[in-house]
Amino acid sequence: MSSIQATDLTGASLGTRVGSGIRSVLTSPKYGPVLVTAVLFAAVFVVGGIRYEGFFSGQVFLNLLVDNAYLIVLAVGMSFVILTGGIDLSVGAVVALSTIIAASLLQSGWSPGVVIPLILVLTSVLGLAVGLMIHVFQVQPFIATLAAMFLARGLCYVISKDSISITDPAFVALAVTRIPLGGGLSITPSVIIALVVVLVAVVVLHYTRLGRTVYALGGSEQSGRLMGLPVARTKVLVYVISGFCSGLAGVLFSFYTLSGYSLTAVGTELDAIAAVVIGGTLLTGGYGFVLGSVLGVLVLGVIQTLITFEGTLSSWWTKIFIGGLLLVFIILQKVLTARRR
């Protein structure tokens, strides 16, 4: 009798322990928002699958990656910046600049083997300039990256006002190639590039000194400095990383559209920021995961797909939905982190 009671008790206490364990994971500022995003993504996908014929298929999921490969790369770069507590408004303009540089250089006969590295170097240098402006001259990230945004958009117009199509065989081949995964499923090379970027970012953030320093900077720059962490180098480096990612995203975007256009990707910086926020990264820095940002991109993508499947909804509903979703997530983050404190 007493032994049964004892086992009951331990069972109950185990239950409460598991319960409180789940609750503490869900309310932790570190894991909570990411888990909620994952649950939401799954829920939206299931709802779509129930409502629409043919929604619940592997290819629809893979198309999310295919259509948003460039945004995933952008969100990775943005995650680095936001983790340090900064922000980068220039990414959309840099994407446009990359597409137009690619298109115009390819048009004048340069080889893609030269053009792509050149773009990546150029955008990294732009990121370096922004980083130096922020660190050395203590210009606020918002303003410094705003100046970079004007510069990049302006250079787009200077290079070409009109859309230039890309006919280079290598680019076209990369754009139309489909890598079969078996079972009728396929992805594009861009998806593989994007996934490699995500993998590298995860390794860098979690298994290197640079990654630890990025999180430490977001937690408290002052403490980081007192601990002897390379604050200056890291702070500049995250903007270089963001610049590099924007350049790479621009290249992927030009694979996707096969053209360069100065007005392309207007407002993409907001999509990237929204994806990072929905993915559970705190804008004050210090908490968040790159995989969360990838989930954020997928959530944005799945909403777009839902609206396409619905058919009767106009495209401007997308904006209202994304705004509403942002609101829900931010309030959720607020509630989760407020409980902790």
Partner 1 sequence: MSAVFARLIASRLFWPIVMLLVLFAINLIAFPGFFAITIKDGHLFGSLIDILRNGAPTLIIAVGMTLVIATRGIDLSVGAVCAISGAVACSIILGSPDPANGATVAVAVTVALAISLVLGVWNGFLVAVLGIQPIIATLILMTAGRGMAMLITEGQILTVNSPPFKAMGSGFWFGVPIAVIIAAVVFAVAALLTRRTALGMLIESVGINPEASRQAGVRARGLLFAVYTFCAFCAAIAGLILTANQTAADANNTGLFLELDAILAVVIGGTSLAGGRYSLAGTLVGALVIQTLVTTVYTVGIPPIATMVFKAAVVAAVCLLQSPTTNQALAGFRRRLALRAGKGIAAS
Residue ranges binding partner 1 (CB under 8 A): 87, 133, 136-140, 142-144, 146-151, 153-155, 157-158, 161, 270, 273-274, 277, 283-284, 314, 316-320, 322-324, 326-327, 330-331, 334
Q: Closest separation between CB of residue 159 and partner 1, Å?
A: 9
185 strand-pairing partners: 182
Q: Show Cβ contacts of residue 23 under 8 Å, excluding neighbours closer than 6 positions.
A: none
Interatomic CA distance for residues 209 and 230, integer angstroms: 10
Q: Closest separation between CB of residue 46 and partner 1, Å?
A: 25
Judged by DSSP in three states, 212 sits in helix
Strand pairing category for 179-182 and 164-165: unpaired
Q: Closest separation between CB of residue 275 and partner 1, Å?
A: 12
Q: Closest separation between CB of residue 204 and partner 1, Å?
A: 26
Interatomic CA distance for residues 288 and 299, integer angstroms: 16
Reported as type and span, the H/E element at residue 259 is: strand 259-260
Residue closer to partner 1, measured from CB, 182 or 341: 341
C-alpha neighbours within 13 Å on the C-beta side of residue 334: 6
Interatomic CA distance for residues 142 and 133, integer angstroms: 11
Q: Closest separation between CB of residue 125 and partner 1, Å?
A: 15
Decide if 32 contacts 329 (C-beta within 8 A). Answer: no
Residue closer to partner 1, measured from CB, 7 or 316: 316
